[in-house]
Amino acid sequence: MQARLLKEADMYPYFKEISSNQSDTSIIDGKEVLMFGSNNYLGLNNHPEVKEASIQAIKKYGTSCTGSRFMNGTIDLHHKLENELAEWLGKERTIVFPTGFQVNTGVIPAMVGKNDYILIDELDHASIIDGCRMSMAQRIKYRHNSPMSLEQKLNHISSKKGTKLIVTDGIFSMDGDIARLDKIVEVAKKHDAFTFVDCAHAIGVIGNHGAGTSSHYGVTDEVDLIGGTFSKSLASVGGFVAGSNDIIEYLNHASRTYMFSASLPPSSTASALATLRVIRSDDSHRLRLWDNTLYAIRCMKEIGFDIGMAETPIIPIYVRDSVLTFQIARDILKRGIYVNPVVAPGVKENDALLRFSLTAVHTKEQIDFAIENIAAVLKEHNILKGELCQLR
């Protein structure tokens, strides 16, 4: 549906102006709402140490590095962040990029070219798809989270000479399920393929001290590259890729979105570093996030929401109709709850959904209020059948 038509029908949900952000609540269009649409999984964007680190970095380095990493734009804070990330992720070396989107559009074209092959999950993020396009390699999609489908696709090209690269989200950004990376690396090994896992939504959330999907399965040594972003659990902006010394040294000189774009600003570098230190030293944020996540999943299942394979703080509430999804998101917002409506091409045509995401700082009362009100709206629109119950 076009933006103009959505606006005329008072259903346009995008570019809402937020004038204050307190992790669990935001002020949107002048009204305080419960925020169940952010990627602020650990709720650390208002952590005092994180904010103070940004302020101090601005005082010391100014507001910008005024250059790209390989010219005048590298500061000691970049190296500190890269070293601590590498240690956390269990890889030899890491480099940081201006955004997570630029990680995928920089790393993929550096790894593969015209006569090579990229195998991607059909639900991989848009930045992975754009990275594939920029690489000119042949892109082959396998069925969502199906190592068997991946293997079949690799069998078809087993006699081909080019490099084979498998790229998967670590936690899928809309459907919220965890990639079966343990099986994917087994298939990769059999077919001599490289693996690259984008842990944008997984770092801070799963794995040892939140180290992401490869750590979750204990396959860090088997994965060639781990990518991610600072714009979610890391409470900042920017991205990274981690791998062996050799591959990262190569990417340092071959990844165009890293080399030819201004480097990560001091304030963002400092806040990512401070958040990383909080995450590594204090598991309580992650544990609270999981307590909230399991509670919300259980309540939603009890009430009868269609939440598919939900198993992480990203919970898709399937509506499966685009116009209805917009209407429902609007009506939920009127009740003081923000969730993201997601329609094609963000998801498949018949998988339109409300993306409900949790943070460590939500209270059980806030979660109850949100679920009860979403249930009431779903019922008004005949998506949910049966009697509504009070959660507590």
Report the distance separating Cα 61 and Cα 72, nearest Å.
Answer: 13
Report the distance separating Cα 328 and Cα 337, nearest Å.
Answer: 11
Measured from the CB atom, the residue of 200 and 332 that comes closer to ligand PMP is 200
Measured from the CB atom, the residue of 98 and 375 that comes closer to ligand PMP is 98
Report the distance separating Cα 121 and Cα 169, nearest Å.
Answer: 8
Report the distance separating Cα 216 and Cα 308, nearest Å.
Answer: 21
99, 233, 271, 312: residue in contact with ligand PMP (rule CB under 6 A): 99
327 binds ligand PMP (CB under 6 A): no
**H-helix segments, 191-283:** 213-217, 245-252, 256-259, 266-281
- CB burial class (10 A; 0-12, 13-18, 19+) of residue 14? exposed
Write the interaction track for ligand PMP spanning residues 105-144; mark x where CB under 6 A is met and - where it is not: --------------------x-x-----------------
229 binds ligand PMP (CB under 6 A): yes
CA dihedral of 235, 212, 173, 303, whole degrees rounded to 10 = -100
Instruction: Select the span of 110-118, 198-206, 263-271, 351-359 touching ligand PMP (CB under 6 A).
Output: 198-206
Shortest gap between Cβ of 205 and ligand PMP (angstroms)? 12
Measured from the CB atom, the residue of 199 and 384 that comes closer to ligand PMP is 199
Measured from the CB atom, the residue of 116 and 169 that comes closer to ligand PMP is 169
The reply to whether 232 belongs to the active site is: yes
98 binds ligand PMP (CB under 6 A): no
# residues contacting ligand PMP (CB under 6 A): 14
Shortest gap between Cβ of 381 and ligand PMP (angstroms)? 27
The reply to whether 173 belongs to the active site is: yes
The reply to whether 381 belongs to the active site is: no
Instruction: Select the span of 19-27, 151-159, 194-202, 255-263 touching ligand PMP (CB under 6 A).
Output: 194-202
Shortest gap between Cβ of 275 and ligand PMP (angstroms)? 14
Instruction: Select the span of 26-34, 93-101, 266-274, 312-320 touching ligand PMP (CB under 6 A).
Output: 93-101
173 binds ligand PMP (CB under 6 A): yes
Check 232, 233, 267, 357 and give the catalytic one.
Answer: 232
37, 43, 100, 207: residue in contact with ligand PMP (rule CB under 6 A): 100
24 binds ligand PMP (CB under 6 A): no
338 binds ligand PMP (CB under 6 A): no
- The enclosing H or E element of 149 equals helix 147-156
Contact (CB, 8 A) for 241 and 225 = yes
Measured from the CB atom, the residue of 120 and 247 that comes closer to ligand PMP is 120
Of residues 232-271, those binding ligand PMP (CB under 6 A) = 239
Contact (CB, 8 A) for 198 and 168 = yes
Backbone angles phi, psi at 357, to 5 degrees: -130, 140
Residue 98: beta bridge partners? none
User: Closest by alpha carbon to 252, among 130, 29, 55, 79?
Assistant: 79
168 binds ligand PMP (CB under 6 A): no
198 binds ligand PMP (CB under 6 A): yes
Q: How far is CA 307 from CA 138, 154, 177, 302, in A?
A: 34, 31, 11, 11
Distance of CA 269 to the CA centre of its chain: 18
Instruction: Select the span of 97-105, 140-148, 270-278, 304-312 touching ligand PMP (CB under 6 A).
Output: 97-105
Check 23, 127, 173, 268 and give the catalytic one.
Answer: 173
Structure tokens at 259: 């080399």
Residue 38 sits at the vertex; the CA angle it makes with 35 and 40, to the nearest 5 degrees, is: 110
How, if at all, do strands 239-243 and 93-97 pair?
A: antiparallel
Measured from the CB atom, the residue of 173 and 213 that comes closer to ligand PMP is 173
What per-residue string of b and e applies to 96-114 under the rule 16 or more CB within 10 Å gives b? Answer: bbbbbbbbbbbbbbbbbee
200 binds ligand PMP (CB under 6 A): yes
Helices and strands (H and E) in the chain: how many: 14, 14
Q: What positions carry a catalytic annotation?
A: 173, 201, 232
* Footprint of ligand PMP (CB under 6 A): 99-101, 104, 125, 127, 169, 173, 198, 200-201, 229, 231, 239
